[in-house]
Amino acid sequence: MPYNKDSYSTGYYKEPGPKLDMENPFESMMERFRFAADLLNLDEGMFQYLSNPVKQVTVSIPIVMDSGEIKVFEGYRVIHDDVLGPSKGGIRFAPDIILDEVKALAAWMTWKCAVVNVPFGGAKGGIRCNPKELSQRELEHLTRRYTANMLEVFGPDKDIPAPDMNTNEQIMAWIMDTFSMHSRKTETAVVTGKPILLGGSKGRKEATGRGVVTVTLSALNKLGMMANKCTVAVQGFGNVGSVSAKLMHEQGARVVAISDVTGGYYNKDGIDIPTAIDYYSSNGGSLDGFSKADKITNEELLELEVDVLIPAAKEDQISKNNAAKINAKIIAEGANGPITANADKILDDKGIIVIPDILANAGGVTVSYFEWVQDRQGYFWTEERVNRRLNRMMREAFNNLYALKEKYDITLRQSAYVYAIDKVARTLRMRGIYS
């Protein structure tokens, strides 16, 4: 498969973290952690243990560039926690990546895996580089040398990377191959998000959107509402948005609005989503000119009176500036961080149920777990089996958080942190502190 520089960010198995406050990303993560720790009366020692990553590795990666000169890049891997099992998390290539950001995103993976009951701890890694400026040969060398420098860290039973921002299937294939060469045997389970040919999982392309829809249906059920009587608006029409819209449409819901970077498209009678998907792909990945709906803005889409709103484009779309104008009954965060912290309370006061990103878009990491299981078994599941198991895990996770929401009278976002931290802390207490 030739490596296409323009599509290096279109891998399907992203395990991206939220975009965090760049002033101090670790602190913004800790604020949520503190709320849950207080509610759980977590003792100070446990708080300290769970606040600190178990391992932080920084490596220098020397590469002979196409020009013949040697350049040295910096690579990171942070294992936040391995209490529940081997650590799991994406690898991102970005020019502005810093260790603090990687630490925060690693912690986020710990809580995300715990929320969906995947037996993994959390990790994150990255290389400070601009992949757009690198040739395919340079990228391959960078990836392979990074992997070689991380041989003691990575491993199917230790730490399992995945794609994230600016990394894709091809990069995962290089990591798998490099690790396998050093192990003297093929180790497919060392990394997830691989091409199907190399041990990837069926159902992965739709996993995140499918998970979004499963938890949305659970929330509708709690409100006594039926999907086929609902109206839906979806912001963003990429992997997560288009799959969410398609599956809601298949459930009989009336998807009245969709959007992408070119704006919103509204039809009060409902948009035929398969037609919109065909249009989007035949139009070079753009809804521009879609004639089966009226043009609205992305801001107007967010404020529509609908039962379900799925922001699936990017962060910071609903803030304190527009939260009071949101009219949905349920918001399922397909994207990471589409609702800012100061909008949470406004939405809660309006009685809107927000299904937080840490749960709503965890379908990707859940199928990532399935990929690892299949690689270890050497037995590959049908797509139908992958989907059935994904639905079950997402539904169970939703129900767990909903029970906590009712018990403590908190939001589902707060429930997610309470659930995850309680699970990891209880496991840690049982294991004890080795010394």
Closer CB to ligand NAD, residue 16 or residue 86?
16
Per DSSP, what are the bridge partners of residue 87? 121, 159
Distance CA 363, CA 214 (A): 9
Q: How many CA atoms lie within 13 A of 217 on its CB side?
A: 22
Q: What is the DSSP string of 206-259?
A: THHHHHHHHHHHHHHHHTT--GGG-EEEEE--SHHHHHHHHHHHHTT-EEEEEE
Least Cα distance to 431 among 7, 66, 32, 81 occurs for 81
Stretch that binds ligand NAD, among 49-57, 58-66, 233-241, 245-253 (CB under 6 A): 233-241
Interface residue with ligand NAD, options 167, 178, 235, 374 (CB under 6 A): 235
# residues near ligand NAD by CB under 6 A: 22
Site for ligand NAD in 2-61 (CB under 6 A): 14, 16
Interface residue with ligand NAD, options 20, 106, 116, 240 (CB under 6 A): 240
Distance CA 95, CA 23 (A): 17
124 labelled catalytic: yes
Secondary element (H or E) of residue 277? helix 273-282
Residue 43 C-beta: closest distance to ligand NAD, Å: 33
Residue 168 C-beta: closest distance to ligand NAD, Å: 11
Query: Judged by CB under 6 A, does residue 261 bind ligand NAD?
Result: yes
Site map for ligand NAD, 347-366, x if CB under 6 A? --------------x--x--
> The tokens 């707060």 sit on which residue?
414
Which member of 88, 112, 124, 423 is catalytic?
Answer: 124
Query: Judged by CB under 6 A, does residue 208 bind ligand NAD?
Result: yes
Query: Judged by CB under 6 A, does residue 241 bind ligand NAD?
Result: yes
Residues 193 and 200: beta-carbon distance below 8 Å:
yes
Say which residues have a Cβ less than 8 Å from residue 287's Cβ, sequence separation at least 6: 237, 258, 259, 260, 262, 263, 265, 276, 279, 280
Distance CA 332, CA 338 (A): 10
Site for ligand NAD in 299-328 (CB under 6 A): 312-314
| Closest residue to bound ligand NAD by CB | 238
Interface residue with ligand NAD, options 334, 354, 371, 402 (CB under 6 A): 334
Closer CB to ligand NAD, residue 240 or residue 309?
240
Secondary element (H or E) of residue 94? strand 87-94
Residues 72 and 60: beta-carbon distance below 8 Å:
yes
Closer CB to ligand NAD, residue 141 or residue 202?
202
Closer CB to ligand NAD, residue 208 or residue 214?
208
Interface residue with ligand NAD, options 170, 214, 218, 298 (CB under 6 A): 298
Site for ligand NAD in 403-422 (CB under 6 A): none
Secondary element (H or E) of residue 260? strand 254-260
> The tokens 């400026």 sit on which residue?
133
Closer CB to ligand NAD, residue 149 or residue 262?
262
Residues acting as catalytic residues: 124
Instruction: Give the residues lining the site for ligand NAD (CB under 6 A).
Output: 14, 16, 208, 235-241, 259-261, 298, 312-314, 334-336, 361, 364
